[in-house]
Amino acid sequence: MDEKKCTCGSMDVRVVACSGGSNVGQIANQAAIQLAKEKVASFFCLAGVGGHIEGMVKSAREAGLMIAIDGCSVQCAAKTLQQEDIEPAIQIIVTELGVEKNPDLDPDEKACSLVVEKVKDELAP
Ligand code: SF4
């Protein structure tokens, strides 16, 4: 995994999020949005990979570095990629950062920042 990390700042970095129906799924989604807004990574449509949309699977395969943000240990985002033999170079699981899963769909801002910072740490040379 380490050798795939971005060290040049010019690599095509993409992020997918599980975007699940829980606080942690929505934190994953919001963190991906934040990373896109900060131009750390482009937000890639995971549903296109899950839907086996040929062009989107191809595009996901061509990413220089793929980040998967999952809400919980079920790891739907990473597993969706892996079904197409795409291994995320970086995987974040929100519950592993100390956030407890619940049905609240309003993403906690602090938890989103925690995920964003974790991704940036993982990307750091
Ligand atoms: S990884 Fe967890 S939170 Fe995300 S979609 Fe799957 S079950 Fe839901």
Provide CB contacts within 8 A for 22, sequence distance 6+: 71, 72, 101, 102, 103, 104, 105
Q: How far apart are the first and last CA of the chain?
A: 13
Check pocket membership of 123 for ligand 1, CB cut-off 6 A: no
Give me the pLDDT at residue 125, please.
80
* Closest of 79, 78, 80, 57 to residue 69, by C-alpha: 78
Check pocket membership of 93 for ligand 1, CB cut-off 6 A: no
Task: Return per-residue pLDDT of the chain as tens, 125 residues.
Answer: 444 554 445 579 999 999 999 999 999 999 999 999 999 999 999 999 999 999 999 999 999 999 999 999 999 999 999 999 999 999 999 999 999 999 999 999 999 999 999 999 999 98
Check pocket membership of 40 for ligand 1, CB cut-off 6 A: no
Give me the pLDDT at residue 9, please.
52
Q: How far is the CA of 121 from the centre of ligand 1 (A)?
A: 23
